[in-house]
Every structure is written in C-alpha cells, then in structure tokens.
Chains A and B, each alone.
Chain A
Amino acid sequence: MIEVHALSKHFGSLTAVDEISFTMQPGEVFGLLGPNGAGKSTTIDCISGLIPPSSGQIAIAGNDLIRAPRAAKARLGIVPQEMAIYEDLPVVQNLRYWGSAYGLRGANLADRVADVLEVIGLVDRAHDKPKDFSGGMKRRLNFGCGIVHEPDVLLLDEPTVGVDPQSRERLFDMVRAQIARGACVLYTTHHMEEAETLCNRIAIVDQGRKIAEGTLAELRAQVGERDIITLTGAFAPGHTLDEALPEGVAVLQSEDSRLTLEAEDGPARLATLLDALSQTGAEVRETIVRRPNLESLFLKLTGAELRA
C-alpha cells in the first residue's frame, strides 16, 4: 500500500531523515516511534508531499509521489500534529470543504460527510463552530477532515498531543475503524504506550535514522527478558561500578546522579545489587524496576530516554 525506500531529507548540513525505508500493508498500523526531533514529522512531510525528499522513493498505492503526485495524494489522508481546521466555520462546512479538496462532490460528498460525522461523534454539533469546542472535540474534527475521502493510507502525526485520556481512547477507536475498513495507518508518536497499544509493526527512529523495526514481540525479543533498573542517587565512577556489580547485571547508562542497569529477574537481584553498590560508597535514594518494553529497547539502542 505504501513503500518508502531510502528516504533522506537534508536541510543544509542537517540530515533530518537518513535513508529510512519501510513498507505498510492494508489493515496495518505502522508506528514511527522516537523522541522529539528524531525525524518523524519530516518523514510524514515528505510522504504527504509537503516537502520534497532529498533522495529516495515514495510510492502510495503504486503511485510514485514525485512522478504522479496527484494520483498518490488522492489515496492519502493526513491528520496533522497541529490542528488544521477552520474554527470559524461549522463542523459540516469544514468536512465539505476538505472533502471537496480531495475531489468529492454532490451526493458522494454529502454521504461521506454524514458518515464522518458519525465516526467522529459530532452529529449533534454538526452546525456548531469548532472555536467553542473542547480540545478533544477539535482533535476529532481534525481527524474527520483527514478521512472524509476514505483514504487508503492515513498519516497520523502525533495525534494525541494535548489530548485527555478519554479523548485519546476515542481517537484510538477511530483509528481502529479505519484499519477495519482496510486502510493502513502510519502513526508517529513518542509515547511508547501508544505504539504498544495501537501498532502492529513499529520502527524506532533516532536522529533521522531507523534503528530498529519489527512487531512488538520482535522488538521485545531484542531486549530479551531483562528488566531495566533505574537508580537515583550518588554513584562511584563507571569502572568501579562494573567491578562491583553482581553477575547478570550490566550498566546501560551512567550519569552522576542516575544509573540505568539491565538485569535478568531484576526484583530478585535488587537486594544484592543495592548491597554491592553501598560497598562502593554509593547512596541510592530512588529505585525503579521496569519490565522490558519499547522504552527499554530504545534506551538499550541509544543510551537515552525515549521521552528526553
């Protein structure tokens, strides 16, 4: 449905996207997971035709975006990170406008607008202006404007920024509805939980590069069954720690006041670990043990927190 091959985007000397490739199939949610500034939005901008890629190919439903942009864009729907609606126009007029921008007209447009109003749950507010809506309702309309033409490929760029948990769940339901009708969704986020909840396959990006890709199970396997132990306090230098740590525990990241370790069966080894650290003169004030997840994979791959 969508093929991205060796996509790169340079802004002067800055490489925002560096040789990223992936494919998506109908009925699939593909997650682009990475911290802010990782190149997710630039990737989306290239795929949506907003900025030309420096190199690489993008094909949407078999149509090359550079050579046949109109045919490619006709199959594409976008829900931008920032709101992109007319707040001074009623909901129904927003949907009609964006539907007509994708070439819908007449009864087809009217039917689609009616369907989308149902999907986004704004039937009873169809003739109200969004300027009076809550953030969640505006987000739903923003989503609706992106699906009014029933796109085969839907790009969602961090759609839950500033959204309350209830609205987020509703948004997830709307995404699942698109999947159910056969669309594929490219979903960018820096929330590991969202990617785990929604995505069939995930690519982890950092500094413009794809550093891992796979299903959730495949990615978890890369971390292994090793827990992540994060300690806060005052610690001895790294080389001293390495010698003091018990068997099966390894340092992932070491800072002056923060130590991140990976360990098999972390809770069972915690007492031994703390005892060993105290013998190096360390003072531990806080201890967090986490089960293996995407965040721990990101931490393992990059040495940095995903939310940084």
Chain B
Amino acid sequence: MTFLTASILKNLRRVAAQPWSVAIWIGVPLLVGSLLSAVMGGLDGDTPKVHLLISDEDGSFLSGALVDMLAREEFGDLLILEPSATNSGLAMLDEGDATAMLVIPDGFQRAFLRSEPQALRLVVNPLQQILPEMAEELTRLIADFGSYVQLAFGPELEVASRLATDIETAGESGPEAAAAVGDLASGVATKLFQALPHLTTAPVEIAVETTEGAREASFTLLFFPGLLMMSVIFAAQGLAEDLWQEREMGTLRRLRSTVAPLVTFLLARVLASALVLMLVILPLALLGFATLGLDWASLPLTLAWLVLAGLVLAALASMIQVLAPSRKAGALFSSLVFFPLLLVGGSFFPLESMPDLLAAFGRFTPNGMMLEPLKAYLIGTGDLAGFGPVLAVALAVTLALTAATAWRLQAGFASR
C-alpha cells in the first residue's frame, strides 16, 4: 500500500466515521429543495395564478362584456376570477386572500361610449410581488384595447351613446332610432370590411417556441442543478475544514517530519474528496433524475461535472482555511465567502428568478459558472461544447488554488 493509497483510505475512513456530516450535506439541500419547490409550484410546473376580484359597480352591458372577456379560456391559465363587492373585496385583500381587485366604476359604459375619460381602478395586494404586476399588465392591456376601440369607432360610439340616451329618456324606440341603428351598423360593417384584410393577414405573428429538444422548465427543474450544487458546497466546506482538524490533532506536523511529500498528501485529499463528493451527489441526482424524468444518459456527465465543481470549491475552501489564523476564523471566513455564493450563485434560488443584475453577477461566481452549462445541458438548451470553456477555467483555478494551499502548508500551517 503506497502512501497515496493509505492516505486516500485514511481520508475516506475519517469521513465515514462522521456519518452525520454526510447526512447533513445531503439532507439540507434535499429539505430546502423540497420546501422551495413545493412553495413555487411543485414538479408539474404550474404557473402561479392571479386571484383577481371583480367589483362591477357599473353593472352595464359593457362592464359585463369586460368581465366576460377576462373569463375567456385564454386567460384561464393566468387568472382566477371572483366577483366581489368593493368593500368585501378590500377586506379580502387586507387578509391576503387575493392578488388584486379590479373595480369597474359606476358610469363606465356611459363614459366609454361618449369617449370620455374613464378609469378602471385596480387595488393590489402589497404583500405579493410578482402576481400583482401581472394583474396590472392585464388591466393595462384592457385599457389599451378600449382606447383603440374608441379611436377606431369614435363616431359610431357617439351615435350609440346618443341612441342609448334617447331610448332611456323616450322609453321606446321609434323610426328615427331604427334608422340610427341601421346607420351605425352600416358604419361599423364598412370599417370592419376595410380592416378585415389586415386583421386576417396580420403583419406580425408571435409564435412561442422553445429550442429543439428542450423541456418545459418547471421551477423544480430549474432549481435541481442548484440543489445539487448546494450539496457540493456544503461537502466542499466540510472537507476543507478537516485541514484544521489535522493540524489540531498534530498529524500534519508529524507528517512534515516524515518522508511523505505534502503534494501526495494533497493529491490524496483531492482524490478522496472526489469520491466523497460523488457519494454525496449520487443519491440526490438519482432522486432528481427519477422525479423529473431526466434522460439517464445525462447522469454520468452530471455527476462528473458536479464532482469537478466540488473540487474547485473544495480547493477554494481549503485555501481559505489555511490562510485563516485560527480554526474559528477559518469557519467564519469560509461562511463569509460561501453563504453569499450560495445565495447569488443559483444554489438557493434559480438565477432565472433573480433580478437581472444579480443574476449576471451570480453567473460569474464559481458555483454559478459551473452551474450554467449543466443546467442548459439538462434542460436541453445547451450541449457538450458549452462545458469546454468552463472546464478549462475550472481546472486552472483548481490547480492554482491547490498550489497556493500546498505553499501555505509548507510555509508554516503544517509545522505548528
């Protein structure tokens, strides 16, 4: 048994002697992933819906038509509509039971037909962030639609308004009213016939497409690689902290007085860490692949890539540890570096759910950089070529950090 083999076995046995550490490295990401995934819509990728209360104070034909439009099937994926009185709707919003309330004020139809300014009132739930914005966009869409209708059919709306007033005041329809309706219908029909060729051959078509082979990316799928990376980060930190334990046990110091090279000691740590990382990632990866229905052929590359990511992060964590003046300081410095990396590097929240600036920063963190090509590969928007540049950087960084750690061990960390 060479020293390299003995050293690898020693490292593996010492990790095996602390099963609770390994359980935490696996368990915490699993727990966080399960909770976040459940909160954000689960495995089926369901989009969270806007719970929109409708208070129709106008009670007119037009307000009814507006509500009918919102109730169309096309909006069904976005909206849950619920009729409500204004006061009770406000109470529901205060309780946080709805996203927003659209109030159609009394006189809405009359103002619309007379092309007078009219206001739809949208009350949003301040406790929610994204969904009220969706409701606002929807309301703005409706308002824009109304404005276009007023621009296109302004004279006809005016006639219709006068006609409606006459009917209300006269109580019945006479020959004049019939003639007015005929003119109105004729005017609308003429405009529609003129517009029809443009409407049927719309100059702009919007087609929603995804890359060939790409999967529909649910929150859980987007989060899954980050979840694995979280486990890798925990393991990398834990493995690096062992350097302080070796120092406090006096074994590093004793090793320095033997003929065994420190390089071999570090190489054994890297190889043992790779095995430990593989064992930590494997159960989570198997669970994720099975649950999300991912292509099993992607599993070996996923595991290998995450092990490499773990080695990069372990090299970084090791260097932090050997630069620290004490074990406590080492743990503190390590947390100061790795906790922000967890947060912004896509391991706690997918980069897709972050503000653009933060996501851009997150993509340049070590974990974010390693995460992006893997995520693209798993979703189907990336290929093997995407790993290339990051692989080169990862290997270079790992080598540089390990060399720096070796220098620090040689320079005194291992001799005290």
B-binding residues in A (CB < 8 A): 45, 48-51, 70, 73-74, 76, 78, 80, 82-89, 93, 96-98, 100-103, 105-106, 109, 129, 145
Partner of A84 from the list B7, B14, B249, B260 (CB cut-off 8 Å) is: B249
Please tell me if B259 contacts chain A, counting CB pairs below 8 Å: yes
Please tell me if B257 contacts chain A, counting CB pairs below 8 Å: yes
Across the interface, which residues of A come within 8 angstroms of B10, CB to CB? Answer: 86, 89, 93, 97
Across the interface, which residues of B come within 8 angstroms of A50, CB to CB? Answer: 253, 256-257, 415
Across the interface, which residues of A come within 8 angstroms of B254, CB to CB? Answer: 78, 80, 84, 98, 145
Please tell me if B359 contacts chain A, counting CB pairs below 8 Å: no
Give the distance to chain A from B248, nearest Cβ to Cβ, in Å: 9
Interface of chain B: mostly helix, strand, loop or mixed: helix
| Docked-complex contact B415 and A98, CB < 8 angstroms | no
| Docked-complex contact B6 and A86, CB < 8 angstroms | no
| Docked-complex contact A83 and B17, CB < 8 angstroms | no
Give the distance to chain A from B256, nearest Cβ to Cβ, in Å: 6
Which of B2, B9, B254 has most A Cβ within 10 Å? B254
A49-B256, A73-B258 known; A83 and B3 CB under 8 Å? no
Please tell me if B255 contacts chain A, counting CB pairs below 8 Å: yes
A-binding residues in B (CB < 8 A): 1-3, 5-7, 9-10, 13-14, 17-18, 249-251, 253-260, 415
A78-B254, A86-B14 known; A103 and B259 CB under 8 Å? yes
Which A-chain residue is minimally distant from B414 (CB atoms)? A50
Between A and B, 10 residue pairs with Cβ closer than 8 Å are A80-B253, A84-B253, A84-B254, A86-B10, A86-B14, A88-B18, A97-B6, A97-B7, A105-B1, A105-B2
Across the interface, which residues of A come within 8 angstroms of B249, CB to CB? Answer: 83-87
| Docked-complex contact B17 and A88, CB < 8 angstroms | yes
Tell me the complex Cα distance, A50–B259, Å: 12
Tell me the complex Cα distance, A96–B10, Å: 10
12 more A-B contacts (CB under 8 A) besides A82-B250, A89-B14, A101-B259?
Answer: A48-B257, A78-B254, A80-B254, A87-B249, A88-B13, A88-B17, A89-B10, A89-B17, A97-B6, A98-B258, A100-B7, A102-B259
| Docked-complex contact B17 and A101, CB < 8 angstroms | no
Give the distance to chain B from A270, nearest Cβ to Cβ, in Å: 48
Give the distance to chain A from B264, nearest Cβ to Cβ, in Å: 9
| Docked-complex contact A96 and B6, CB < 8 angstroms | yes
A97-B6, A100-B6 known; A73 and B415 CB under 8 Å? no
Tell me the complex Cα distance, A84–B249, Å: 6
Across the interface, which residues of A come within 8 angstroms of B260, CB to CB? Answer: 100-103
Give the distance to chain A from B6, nearest Cβ to Cβ, in Å: 4
Tell me the complex Cα distance, A203–B18, Å: 46
Give the distance to chain A from B397, nearest Cβ to Cβ, in Å: 29
